[in-house]
Amino acid sequence: MSAVTRPVAAGFPWSSSNFGIFFPLFALHMNVYMVIHRGKVEVSPWEAAISGSNTVEDDTLVAWPGAASSRAAGGLAEQAYRAIRNAIQEGQLEAGQRVLELELCSWLKVSRTPIREAMRRLQSDGMLVHAPGGGLSVAQHDLRAVAELYDVRERLEGAAAGMSARFADATEIHMLQAMVDTHRQLPDDPKIHARENTLFHEHIYRAAHNRFLLKSLQDLHDSVVLLGRTTFAAPGRIAEAQGEHQAIVAAIARRDEAAAEELARRHVRRGYELRLAAMAEAARAGSQNRVDSSRDLLRR
Protein backbone atom coordinates (compact mmCIF):
# COMPACT_ATOMS: atom_id res chain seq x y z
CA MET A 1 0.00 0.00 0.00
CA SER A 2 1.44 3.37 -0.94
CA ALA A 3 1.92 6.05 1.72
CA VAL A 4 -0.62 8.81 1.91
CA THR A 5 0.85 12.27 1.51
CA ARG A 6 -0.70 15.62 2.11
CA PRO A 7 -0.83 18.26 -0.60
CA VAL A 8 1.44 21.21 0.04
CA ALA A 9 1.10 24.59 -1.57
CA ALA A 10 4.34 25.45 -3.30
CA GLY A 11 3.55 29.13 -3.47
CA PHE A 12 0.79 31.58 -2.85
CA PRO A 13 -1.25 32.43 -5.98
CA TRP A 14 -2.06 36.09 -5.58
CA SER A 15 -5.30 36.15 -7.57
CA SER A 16 -8.05 38.55 -6.57
CA SER A 17 -10.28 35.73 -5.30
CA ASN A 18 -7.86 34.07 -2.89
CA PHE A 19 -6.36 37.40 -1.88
CA GLY A 20 -9.83 38.23 -0.58
CA ILE A 21 -9.61 35.16 1.62
CA PHE A 22 -6.07 35.71 2.86
CA PHE A 23 -6.12 39.44 3.53
CA PRO A 24 -8.86 39.54 6.22
CA LEU A 25 -7.05 36.82 8.17
CA PHE A 26 -3.75 38.61 7.82
CA ALA A 27 -5.30 41.95 8.81
CA LEU A 28 -6.95 40.42 11.87
CA HIS A 29 -3.66 38.94 13.01
CA MET A 30 -1.82 42.21 12.54
CA ASN A 31 -4.51 44.13 14.40
CA VAL A 32 -3.91 41.94 17.43
CA TYR A 33 -0.24 42.79 17.33
CA MET A 34 -0.82 46.51 16.95
CA VAL A 35 -2.65 46.57 20.29
CA ILE A 36 0.81 46.78 21.81
CA HIS A 37 1.37 50.19 20.26
CA ARG A 38 -1.85 51.74 21.55
CA GLY A 39 -2.35 53.87 24.60
CA LYS A 40 -2.32 52.57 28.16
CA VAL A 41 -4.96 52.70 30.87
CA GLU A 42 -4.73 52.64 34.63
CA VAL A 43 -5.25 49.29 36.35
CA SER A 44 -6.16 48.28 39.87
CA PRO A 45 -3.51 47.49 42.51
CA TRP A 46 -3.79 43.72 42.27
CA GLU A 47 -3.34 43.84 38.48
CA ALA A 48 -0.29 46.02 38.96
CA ALA A 49 1.09 43.33 41.25
CA ILE A 50 0.80 40.83 38.41
CA SER A 51 2.32 42.98 35.70
CA GLY A 52 4.75 45.04 37.76
CA SER A 53 3.23 48.17 36.24
CA ASN A 54 0.37 50.57 36.95
CA THR A 55 -0.78 50.42 33.33
CA VAL A 56 -1.97 47.76 30.96
CA GLU A 57 -2.16 47.72 27.20
CA ASP A 58 -5.50 48.96 25.86
CA ASP A 59 -7.83 46.19 24.65
CA THR A 60 -6.13 43.60 26.87
CA LEU A 61 -8.53 41.18 28.52
CA VAL A 62 -8.44 42.11 32.22
CA ALA A 63 -10.46 40.79 35.17
CA TRP A 64 -11.85 43.74 37.12
CA PRO A 65 -12.55 42.84 40.77
CA GLY A 66 -15.03 45.71 41.15
CA ALA A 67 -17.50 43.84 38.95
CA ALA A 68 -17.23 40.61 40.93
CA SER A 69 -20.68 40.91 42.47
CA SER A 70 -22.34 40.80 39.05
CA ARG A 71 -20.40 37.84 37.66
CA ALA A 72 -21.05 34.15 37.91
CA ALA A 73 -18.85 32.08 40.22
CA GLY A 74 -17.53 30.14 37.24
CA GLY A 75 -16.38 33.35 35.58
CA LEU A 76 -14.66 34.51 38.77
CA ALA A 77 -12.91 31.17 39.11
CA GLU A 78 -11.60 31.46 35.55
CA GLN A 79 -10.39 35.00 36.21
CA ALA A 80 -8.69 33.90 39.44
CA TYR A 81 -7.08 30.96 37.64
CA ARG A 82 -5.67 33.22 34.92
CA ALA A 83 -4.48 35.84 37.41
CA ILE A 84 -2.65 33.33 39.62
CA ARG A 85 -1.21 31.51 36.62
CA ASN A 86 0.06 34.79 35.19
CA ALA A 87 1.58 35.73 38.55
CA ILE A 88 3.50 32.44 38.55
CA GLN A 89 4.64 32.95 34.97
CA GLU A 90 5.79 36.52 35.64
CA GLY A 91 7.64 35.53 38.83
CA GLN A 92 5.33 37.43 41.18
CA LEU A 93 4.69 34.07 42.83
CA GLU A 94 8.07 32.34 42.87
CA ALA A 95 8.85 28.65 42.67
CA GLY A 96 8.60 27.10 46.13
CA GLN A 97 6.58 29.99 47.55
CA ARG A 98 3.64 29.01 49.76
CA VAL A 99 0.27 30.08 48.35
CA LEU A 100 -2.33 30.94 50.97
CA GLU A 101 -6.01 30.93 50.16
CA LEU A 102 -6.92 33.94 52.33
CA GLU A 103 -4.10 36.03 50.87
CA LEU A 104 -5.29 35.27 47.35
CA CYS A 105 -8.85 36.24 48.34
CA SER A 106 -7.59 39.58 49.64
CA TRP A 107 -5.36 40.11 46.62
CA LEU A 108 -8.02 39.35 43.99
CA LYS A 109 -10.96 40.74 45.99
CA VAL A 110 -13.07 37.61 45.55
CA SER A 111 -14.55 35.01 47.89
CA ARG A 112 -12.94 31.70 48.82
CA THR A 113 -15.07 29.58 46.46
CA PRO A 114 -13.55 30.77 43.13
CA ILE A 115 -10.08 30.81 44.71
CA ARG A 116 -10.45 27.18 45.78
CA GLU A 117 -11.60 26.18 42.30
CA ALA A 118 -8.70 28.05 40.70
CA MET A 119 -6.21 26.42 43.07
CA ARG A 120 -7.62 22.96 42.31
CA ARG A 121 -7.14 23.60 38.60
CA LEU A 122 -3.59 24.81 39.12
CA GLN A 123 -2.86 21.76 41.26
CA SER A 124 -4.25 19.53 38.50
CA ASP A 125 -2.01 21.38 36.02
CA GLY A 126 0.98 20.60 38.24
CA MET A 127 1.66 24.28 38.93
CA LEU A 128 0.74 24.03 42.62
CA VAL A 129 1.83 21.15 44.85
CA HIS A 130 1.36 20.14 48.47
CA ALA A 131 3.76 22.07 50.70
CA PRO A 132 5.59 20.61 53.71
CA GLY A 133 3.46 21.22 56.78
CA GLY A 134 0.25 21.56 54.78
CA GLY A 135 -1.20 23.91 52.21
CA LEU A 136 0.01 24.47 48.68
CA SER A 137 3.09 26.05 47.15
CA VAL A 138 4.27 26.89 43.64
CA ALA A 139 5.92 23.85 42.08
CA GLN A 140 9.61 24.12 41.35
CA HIS A 141 12.00 22.21 39.11
CA ASP A 142 15.43 21.07 40.21
CA LEU A 143 18.35 21.07 37.78
CA ARG A 144 17.66 17.53 36.65
CA ALA A 145 14.01 18.30 35.91
CA VAL A 146 15.01 21.41 33.96
CA ALA A 147 17.46 19.34 31.89
CA GLU A 148 14.75 16.74 31.20
CA LEU A 149 12.25 19.45 30.28
CA TYR A 150 14.56 21.12 27.78
CA ASP A 151 15.59 17.77 26.31
CA VAL A 152 12.02 16.80 25.41
CA ARG A 153 11.21 20.36 24.42
CA GLU A 154 14.13 20.42 21.98
CA ARG A 155 12.92 17.22 20.34
CA LEU A 156 9.28 18.32 20.08
CA GLU A 157 10.06 21.86 18.91
CA GLY A 158 12.40 20.45 16.28
CA ALA A 159 9.75 18.02 15.09
CA ALA A 160 7.16 20.81 14.89
CA ALA A 161 9.44 23.03 12.79
CA GLY A 162 10.37 20.17 10.48
CA MET A 163 6.75 19.17 9.98
CA SER A 164 5.80 22.80 9.40
CA ALA A 165 8.33 22.94 6.56
CA ARG A 166 6.50 20.00 5.03
CA PHE A 167 2.83 20.73 5.75
CA ALA A 168 2.39 24.49 6.33
CA ASP A 169 0.25 26.19 3.72
CA ALA A 170 1.12 29.51 2.11
CA THR A 171 -1.08 31.53 4.47
CA GLU A 172 0.58 30.03 7.55
CA ILE A 173 4.03 30.78 6.17
CA HIS A 174 3.11 34.38 5.38
CA MET A 175 1.70 34.71 8.88
CA LEU A 176 4.97 33.52 10.42
CA GLN A 177 6.94 35.93 8.25
CA ALA A 178 4.64 38.77 9.30
CA MET A 179 5.17 37.91 12.96
CA VAL A 180 8.95 38.02 12.58
CA ASP A 181 8.70 41.42 10.87
CA THR A 182 6.37 42.75 13.57
CA HIS A 183 8.61 41.60 16.42
CA ARG A 184 11.37 43.90 15.19
CA GLN A 185 9.10 46.89 15.82
CA LEU A 186 8.28 46.01 19.42
CA PRO A 187 9.85 47.85 22.37
CA ASP A 188 12.72 46.11 24.15
CA ASP A 189 10.49 44.77 26.91
CA PRO A 190 11.27 41.15 27.90
CA LYS A 191 7.67 40.50 28.99
CA ILE A 192 6.25 41.66 25.65
CA HIS A 193 8.73 39.57 23.68
CA ALA A 194 8.12 36.53 25.90
CA ARG A 195 4.39 36.77 25.20
CA GLU A 196 4.92 37.19 21.45
CA ASN A 197 7.45 34.35 21.48
CA THR A 198 4.77 32.04 22.88
CA LEU A 199 2.38 33.05 20.09
CA PHE A 200 5.08 32.60 17.46
CA HIS A 201 5.85 29.06 18.57
CA GLU A 202 2.13 28.29 18.83
CA HIS A 203 1.80 29.21 15.14
CA ILE A 204 4.60 26.79 14.27
CA TYR A 205 2.94 24.02 16.29
CA ARG A 206 -0.33 24.52 14.41
CA ALA A 207 1.42 24.76 11.06
CA ALA A 208 2.79 21.24 11.65
CA HIS A 209 -0.80 19.96 11.30
CA ASN A 210 -0.45 17.18 13.87
CA ARG A 211 -2.98 17.27 16.70
CA PHE A 212 -0.99 14.95 18.97
CA LEU A 213 2.21 16.95 18.63
CA LEU A 214 0.22 20.14 19.24
CA LYS A 215 -1.28 18.81 22.47
CA SER A 216 2.08 17.54 23.70
CA LEU A 217 3.69 20.94 23.18
CA GLN A 218 0.78 22.79 24.77
CA ASP A 219 0.94 20.53 27.84
CA LEU A 220 4.70 21.04 28.00
CA HIS A 221 4.16 24.80 28.16
CA ASP A 222 2.65 24.44 31.65
CA SER A 223 6.00 23.12 32.87
CA VAL A 224 7.91 25.87 31.06
CA VAL A 225 5.81 28.44 32.94
CA LEU A 226 7.20 27.09 36.23
CA LEU A 227 10.73 28.04 35.22
CA GLY A 228 10.05 31.61 36.30
CA ARG A 229 11.21 34.80 34.65
CA THR A 230 11.76 34.82 30.92
CA THR A 231 15.21 34.35 29.38
CA PHE A 232 14.42 37.37 27.18
CA ALA A 233 15.66 39.42 30.14
CA ALA A 234 19.21 38.25 29.39
CA PRO A 235 21.34 40.95 27.72
CA GLY A 236 21.09 40.76 23.94
CA ARG A 237 18.63 37.87 23.95
CA ILE A 238 15.80 39.77 22.25
CA ALA A 239 17.82 40.53 19.13
CA GLU A 240 19.43 37.09 19.18
CA ALA A 241 16.06 35.32 19.35
CA GLN A 242 14.70 37.45 16.51
CA GLY A 243 17.55 36.27 14.30
CA GLU A 244 16.90 32.65 15.28
CA HIS A 245 13.18 33.01 14.55
CA GLN A 246 13.91 34.55 11.15
CA ALA A 247 16.20 31.65 10.23
CA ILE A 248 13.60 29.06 11.30
CA VAL A 249 10.85 30.73 9.26
CA ALA A 250 13.15 31.02 6.23
CA ALA A 251 13.83 27.27 6.39
CA ILE A 252 10.10 26.54 6.68
CA ALA A 253 9.35 28.82 3.72
CA ARG A 254 11.83 27.03 1.46
CA ARG A 255 10.48 23.63 2.59
CA ASP A 256 13.80 22.55 4.10
CA GLU A 257 12.64 20.12 6.79
CA ALA A 258 16.10 19.15 8.05
CA ALA A 259 17.28 22.75 8.39
CA ALA A 260 14.05 23.88 10.09
CA GLU A 261 14.30 21.07 12.63
CA GLU A 262 17.97 21.71 13.38
CA LEU A 263 17.50 25.47 13.71
CA ALA A 264 14.56 24.99 16.07
CA ARG A 265 16.53 22.55 18.21
CA ARG A 266 19.48 24.94 18.32
CA HIS A 267 17.07 27.71 19.36
CA VAL A 268 15.86 25.64 22.34
CA ARG A 269 19.41 24.63 23.31
CA ARG A 270 20.37 28.30 23.47
CA GLY A 271 17.37 28.93 25.71
CA TYR A 272 18.54 26.14 27.99
CA GLU A 273 22.01 27.71 28.28
CA LEU A 274 20.45 31.02 29.28
CA ARG A 275 18.09 29.31 31.74
CA LEU A 276 21.01 27.62 33.51
CA ALA A 277 22.85 30.94 33.69
CA ALA A 278 19.78 32.62 35.18
CA MET A 279 19.37 29.84 37.76
CA ALA A 280 23.02 30.11 38.74
CA GLU A 281 22.74 33.88 39.13
CA ALA A 282 19.60 33.51 41.24
CA ALA A 283 21.39 31.01 43.48
CA ARG A 284 24.34 33.38 43.93
CA ALA A 285 22.03 36.29 44.73
CA GLY A 286 20.11 34.19 47.25
CA SER A 287 23.33 33.10 48.94
CA GLN A 288 24.57 36.68 49.13
CA ASN A 289 21.28 37.84 50.63
CA ARG A 290 21.52 35.20 53.33
CA VAL A 291 25.08 36.25 54.13
CA ASP A 292 24.06 39.92 54.32
CA SER A 293 21.11 39.08 56.58
CA SER A 294 23.38 37.13 58.93
CA ARG A 295 25.80 40.05 59.14
CA ASP A 296 22.96 42.44 59.94
CA LEU A 297 21.81 40.21 62.79
CA LEU A 298 25.31 40.04 64.25
CA ARG A 299 25.63 43.83 64.23
CA ARG A 300 22.46 44.32 66.26
226-267 pLDDT tens trace:
787 789 999 999 999 999 999 999 999 999 999 999 999 999
Question: Is 296 exposed, middle or buried, given 0-12, 13-18 or 19+ CB atoms closer than 10 A?
Answer: exposed
Question: According to the model, what pLDDT value does residue 292 have?
Answer: 65
Question: According to the model, what pLDDT value does residue 290 have?
Answer: 65
114-161 pLDDT tens trace:
999 999 999 988 889 888 888 898 888 888 989 999 999 999 999 999
Q: Count Cβ atoms below 10 Å from residue 8 Cβ, excluding itself.
A: 12
**Cα atoms in the Cβ-side hemisphere of radius 13 Å centred on 126:** 11
Alpha helices in 52-100 (DSSP H): 73-89
d(Cα 259, Cα 237) in Å, to the nearest integer?
Answer: 22
Question: According to the model, what pLDDT value does residue 229 have?
Answer: 78
Question: According to the model, what pLDDT value does residue 280 have?
Answer: 85
With 0.75 as the threshold, say if the pTM is over it. Answer: no
**Stretches in the chain below the pLDDT threshold 50:** 1-23, 32-71
DSSP lists the bridge partners of residue 40 as 57
What whole-number percentage of the chain has pLDDT above 70?
A: 70
* CA torsion through residues 35, 38, 40, 41, sign: negative
Helix (H) or strand (E) holding 99: strand 98-99
Question: According to the model, what pLDDT value does residue 43 have?
Answer: 41
d(Cα 179, Cα 253) in Å, to the nearest integer?
Answer: 14
Q: Residue 222 contacts by C-beta under 8 Å, 6 or more apart in sequence?
A: 125, 126, 127
